[in-house]
Structure 1
Amino acid sequence: MSAACVSGCRLAAAWRVVAIVSLLLAPGTARPETDMAVWRLSGASGAMALDPMRSYAVLASEATVARPEWRRVVEILRAKYEADVVLYPAGHPEQALPGLRRLFPNYACFVEPPETCGRGFVLTLHRLTRRLDDDPYGDLLWGILTGYAADDAARIAALREPLIIRRGATSMGPDLLQRLDVGFATNENAPSDFWQKPAGTAGVAHRAVAPDAARALAQAFREIPVDVFYTSGHATERDWQIAYNLPGGAVTHERGALCAVSADKTRYPFESPNPKVYLPVGNCLIGHIDTHDCMATAWLHSGGVVQMIGYTAVTFYGYMGWGTGLLFEDGRLTLSEAFFLNNQSLLHQLARRFPHALQAQPGTEDYRSVDAFRQRHAVRARDELGLLWDRDAVAFYGDPAWAARYPVEDSAADVVLTRQGERWTLTATVRRDGVWEDPKWGGRPLAVLLPFRLRDIANVTCVPAGEALVTDRFALLPVAGRRKAGDHYTLTFTAW
């Protein structure tokens, strides 16, 4: 087979490598040919809103593709999505920007071994993926594909079947189990609590465990193939404490293997190999891959995790963690869509309330201390501090185009996009009575991912009136307060 050469690394000529050749512009813009069209954006198919085929970039350093086991991961994704490959010098993913601008893909997956995936890498990717055009918002859905071993990343890359969330586990009590078919739960505030919901039952059974839930948790993970796991409370790169500020056991790791450890030091190793997503929404540092062997890589290796969000720093404000979980649980969005849109909602908050903060570029060392961060960036208001801290500090691990979602019948609103000529209308219809608000931050806009990129957006109006936003990738509707089933929100605009 003929080959191309990049910095001494031989690559199959079938790869379209942006670092070597100029490519046909493939910006993901798919304006319909007809003058009238309708898109229902809350369908139950489990498909992504954006088509990844031929609008997917696989990015890796030249050093990474020089290693055969990691080059294999790149090749799996390339073949899966008919993707383009963008290479950059080791340690400098920002140099992929020209290639990304030429492609403007719907998705970008950064394939790297764990030793290169630290906090600085995550900060850089957030900022890189906002620079494809001149607005301050994200331009594509992205993820980091890594693992304790390259085989972990290859396994994740090969997945095709979407995941519908029906079985789950949480550290925050039994409420989540009410909406699931099967699951189990611990209680951060009471180490002896353990709940389980068996298949075919409507109720949740509680039992007391001693000295804490470590053994029960490990056994449940071995026996019950859950689709989602939520945690909060104290965590580091080395462990997650099952109870919050109480002696209640922990989950730790060693050489890529997970182990629950009770307060009396008894160890309960476990594996949970079925595909699942992990949302440590309230945990500090568990998303920080500071070494090859850490909590994140252990979950990817022996915990069956194929997508995961996680803070690479401490968390005190929580917009990116809890907010991503909130959007995901609605059912309209996949996990990667929820992560992307929650970050855009955060950026919109900064743009409206603290526009000067959009230009701040905190470095990895700034995240070692909240007080130092505040002083270095002259932050005064708590919301400004929290939003800026969270903006770039949360990682998304996994293939961003692989779909994991809750059953869509749980969605709070039906969303329809229509087009007539250059006039577009986005309508959201509330499905049930209730209060539309974030329990921690009050009102939060309804975030909608558009099924293709738009251009030349203008003449935006919203009924009822509010601070709406339309970009080439997404729209935010100002839904807040008490709403009734059948209430409508309508956003109109012109675009090409």
Structure 2
Amino acid sequence: MKKPPFGALKANNILGFLCVILGVSDFAHSMHYNYAVAISSEAYSQADWKNVADSLVRKHEKNGTAKLFTWSSSVNDIKEELSGFKPDYIGYIARPAIECNAAFIVSVSRLSRQLDSDPYGDAVWGIITGYEASDALRAISESLTVKTVLAASANLSYEPPIRRFYQALGMTCDSYTKTDYLFPESEGKVYSEEKRPENEQDRIILVSKWLNAESMSLAISGKGSITGPVDCIITGGHGNVNLWQCHYPEAGTEGYMRSSGGKLFGSPYSGGSIAIAAPTPKIYWCASNCLMGNPNNKDNVVYAAFGSGHAVQMFGFVNNASAGDEFMAWGVYDRVTKSAGTYTLPQGFFLSNNNALFEINNPSGQMNTRLVEQFMDSTVFYGDPAGDVKFYDPGDSAKAFKSDITFEQDNSGNASFTYTFTMVAHDLEFGTGYCYQFRPASLLPVRIDPSSVEITKNEGHKALITDNLLIWEVLSQGQKLAKGNTKTLQWTAKITDDKTGKRIKTYSPLPPKKLPKLVASVKKSELLIKIKDIPKGSFDLQITDLNGKLCFQKKLNSAGVHEQSFSIGRLDTGSGIRLILLVQGGLRLNVTSVQ
């Protein structure tokens, strides 16, 4: 038999077929993002820091488009280039103290909001640094799923059904004995007792031991056990640039954690210094401590955390924490942990920072916006902002709230968006906590033209929609969103960039449509036609040769079910290539066959 032409497949030496699906395609969700790597030309001229930058580019080229940007006199030199690139993430590489300092943090924080015409954030950003370049290289190379949390100077709250962590241990800052346990099997319930592990009343001895351990191993008979390395330490107590006081408000008879020369040391109230050499990656989350994020001196905590402390990420305050820090302290903390697994720490930092700006620009009357403003550029996230570092996800039923975005695009690039916000754990009332913890804020799954936005449904109040960000004032004074209830916001806009990827974990693409399909086969010399997902109603079936000569025609009926088969019987039309055509209104499907 003559070899069939391209597109015709031979099957059982009798009939070959190729399915061709015609119809409107769904919007393709691209798993890519733009990542900018920014570094000074002087640092890039040094082999070790150049290796950090090149490694970061190679890492993110695997998931999107990564590009290197070098600056000479100021990081603001690259503003125009960054603006044209439209990054979703920016990793600012900075050498310790000489580049990475308080002034640099202010510059990059503001630069990251100045890449387009609106005043809000344009990219999730982080500063990548270390006492040595090798510390920075290690930090960007490691991944982590946070399961074990040590709240070293704080209690654990029992907020059923909310589960902030997989497992955790908390030691209240003003007590020598009170200890809280969140066991993996406890479904979020917290067990407390007036007894520290090992009856140790100087927690710095315990903290030093656990940071140095490959795994904690704690068990309370009849209650549960905690096993695994410390993945995240939340500090609390009182902080300084090179010192952490665990007991609060006074140090009492407990020790300190100190930093020097890129190393952490436990300094107990009595006894010798304990060198920290953490064997596993960790997040150092200085949620509300003064000064622990300050990078102005190489002996500061920042460089020790990324040195012997084995940090992959860190959050902290550059200046003193005080009134007005709610958005950047507890706003970040609650947004990340009360909906655990939804946002990464850098995403929570980004959203809370922009929520603070929304509060400043649209005062709720609940906050002193002058005090809020001072912390927008004096808090900092260190680490790769798109790194594979995330918190354990306990599922939607264990979260305070759930939000979701879906969108559907037409052929012209216009899209219809739907955003929903649901309270899962409790009622939500308008007030101070609502403003900094729960006001809906979300990265968009695609970039849009904000001038094209038309809101078609708004069950709340003011909705800010930029090219990459949504912040929605869903409640106002005296209003409440009851547990289990949902508010919906819908709008249309022109999509300008469909690169998405890690920009938003909660993005849920619409389920793919079932597209009609036509298949032809031969069984015992009879032609069988199989149709899938053809709408209910009549359709015409035609069979022609390659010259267009009609060999067969019949009107058949579709029942509208997923799959149907029709036997055409034997066709006495001789050998050759046939074109089988199905026509139903505007639907046309065809398949070639060879007999």
How high is the TM-score relative to the length of structure 1?
0.78
Equivalence for 1:29? none
**Closer/same/farther in 2, CA of residues 259 and 105 from structure 1, 3 Å limit:** same
Equivalence for 2:173? 188
2:71 corresponds, among 88, 93, 117, to: 88
Q: Is the 8 A contact 1:328 1:406 kept in 2?
A: no
Equivalent residue letter for 2:493:
A
1:446 aligns with 2:452: no
- Aligned pairs (5 A) from 1:88-487: 88-90=71-73, 92-115=74-97, 116-159=99-142, 161=143, 163-170=144-151, 171-175=153-157, 179-195=164-180, 204=191, 206=193, 207-208=195-196, 209-223=199-213, 224=216, 225-247=229-251, 248-264=254-270, 266-316=272-322, 317-318=324-325, 319-329=327-337, 330-331=339-340, 332-353=342-363, 383-403=368-388, 404-407=390-393, 409=395, 410-411=398-399, 412-421=401-410, 422-430=414-422, 432-436=424-428, 441-443=433-435, 444-455=438-449, 456-460=451-455, 462-480=457-475, 482-487=480-485
User: How far, CA to CA, are the matches of 1:241 and 1:406 in structure 2?
Assistant: 28
User: Displacement, 1:441?
Assistant: 3.8
Instruction: Identify which range, 224-233 or 202-211, moves more after superposition.
Output: 202-211
Equivalent residue letter for 2:81:
G
Q: Is the 8 A contact 1:417 1:425 kept in 2?
A: yes
Instruction: Identify which range, 121-130 or 302-311, moves more after superposition.
Output: 302-311
SS for the counterpart of 1:114 is coil
**Closer/same/farther in 2, CA of residues 176 and 73 from structure 1, 3 Å limit:** farther
User: Displacement, 1:198?
Assistant: 6.5
**Closer/same/farther in 2, CA of residues 128 and 180 from structure 1, 3 Å limit:** closer
Normalized per residue, which structure has more strand?
2
1:492 corresponds, among 483, 490, 493, to: 490
Q: Alpha-carbon deviations, 1:7-53, whole Å to 9, x = none?
A: xxxxxxxxxxxxxxxxxxxxxxxxxx9786598xxxxxxxxxx9565
SS for the counterpart of 1:108 is strand
Q: Supply the RMSD in Å over aligned alpha carbons.
A: 2.8
Q: Is the 8 A contact 1:165 1:407 kept in 2?
A: no
User: Displacement, 1:312?
Assistant: 0.6
User: How far, CA to CA, are the matches of 2:430 and 2:351 in structure 1?
Assistant: 15
User: How far, CA to CA, are the matches of 1:282 and 1:440 in structure 2?
Assistant: 17
SS for the counterpart of 1:263 is coil
Q: Alpha-carbon deviations, 1:34-92, whole Å to 9, x = none?
A: 786598xxxxxxxxxx9565x111110011111111111001011111221101014x1
User: Displacement, 1:182?
Assistant: 3.5
User: Displacement, 1:310?
Assistant: 0.9
Instruction: Identify which range, 426-435 or 245-254, moves more after superposition.
Output: 426-435
User: Displacement, 1:98?
Assistant: 1.4
Q: Is the 8 A contact 1:457 1:470 kept in 2?
A: no
Instruction: Identify which range, 253-262 or 311-320, moves more after superposition.
Output: 253-262
User: How far, CA to CA, are the matches of 2:285 and 2:266 in structure 1?
Assistant: 18
Q: Alpha-carbon deviations, 1:254-306, whole Å to 9, x = none?
A: 22221222233643333323122222111011001011121011111122211
User: How far, CA to CA, are the matches of 1:425 and 1:237 in structure 2?
Assistant: 45
- Aligned pairs (5 A) from 1:51-70: 53=33, 55-70=34-49
User: How far, CA to CA, are the matches of 2:376 and 2:135 in structure 1?
Assistant: 28
User: How far, CA to CA, are the matches of 2:185 and 2:106 in structure 1?
Assistant: 44
Instruction: Identify which range, 98-107 or 415-424, moves more after superposition.
Output: 415-424
User: How far, CA to CA, are the matches of 2:415 and 2:484 in structure 1?
Assistant: 24
Equivalent residue letter for 2:256:
A
User: Displacement, 1:245?
Assistant: 1.5
User: How far, CA to CA, are the matches of 1:200 and 1:168 in structure 2?
Assistant: 15
Q: Is the 8 A contact 1:252 1:261 kept in 2?
A: yes
Instruction: Identify which range, 455-464 or 240-249, moves more after superposition.
Output: 455-464
User: How far, CA to CA, are the matches of 1:34 and 1:280 in structure 2?
Assistant: 51
Equivalent residue letter for 2:48:
E
**Closer/same/farther in 2, CA of residues 78 and 184 from structure 1, 3 Å limit:** same
How high is the TM-score relative to the length of structure 2?
0.66
User: How far, CA to CA, are the matches of 2:408 and 2:290 in structure 1?
Assistant: 44
Q: Alpha-carbon deviations, 1:114-158, whole Å to 9, x = none?
A: 121111000000111111111000111111100111111101222
If you compute each CA radius of gyration, which structure gives the higher value, 1 or 2? 2
SS for the counterpart of 1:390 is coil
**Closer/same/farther in 2, CA of residues 182 and 420 from structure 1, 3 Å limit:** closer
Q: Is the 8 A contact 1:287 1:395 kept in 2?
A: yes
Q: Alpha-carbon deviations, 1:177-218, whole Å to 9, x = none?
A: 975444332221113444556776776464244552111221
Q: Is the 8 A contact 1:449 1:473 kept in 2?
A: yes
Say how many residue pairs are matched. Answer: 424
User: How far, CA to CA, are the matches of 1:288 and 1:52 in structure 2?
Assistant: 33
Equivalent residue letter for 2:369:
E
Which runs of 5 or more residues in structure 1 are unaligned? 1-32, 40-49, 355-380
Equivalent residue letter for 2:207:
L
User: How far, CA to CA, are the matches of 2:313 and 2:32 in structure 1?
Assistant: 17
User: Displacement, 1:475?
Assistant: 0.9
Q: Is the 8 A contact 1:64 1:113 kept in 2?
A: yes
User: How far, CA to CA, are the matches of 1:336 and 1:154 in structure 2?
Assistant: 18
User: How far, CA to CA, are the matches of 2:486 and 2:445 in structure 1?
Assistant: 21
Equivalent residue letter for 2:280:
N
Q: Is the 8 A contact 1:191 1:246 kept in 2?
A: no
User: How far, CA to CA, are the matches of 1:280 and 1:431 in structure 2?
Assistant: 28
Q: Is the 8 A contact 1:191 1:242 kept in 2?
A: no
Equivalent residue letter for 2:148:
R
Q: Alpha-carbon deviations, 1:402-454, whole Å to 9, x = none?
A: 13233061442141322254352323242524133699544341111112211
User: How far, CA to CA, are the matches of 2:489 and 2:96 in structure 1?
Assistant: 43
Q: Is the 8 A contact 2:40 2:75 kept in 1?
A: yes
**Closer/same/farther in 2, CA of residues 203 and 475 from structure 1, 3 Å limit:** closer
Q: Is the 8 A contact 2:421 2:440 kept in 1?
A: no
User: How far, CA to CA, are the matches of 2:120 and 2:287 in structure 1?
Assistant: 22
Q: Alpha-carbon deviations, 1:207-243, whole Å to 9, x = none?
A: 2445521112212222331222212231111111101
Q: Is the 8 A contact 1:38 1:419 kept in 2?
A: no
Equivalent residue letter for 1:221:
L
User: Displacement, 1:389?
Assistant: 0.5
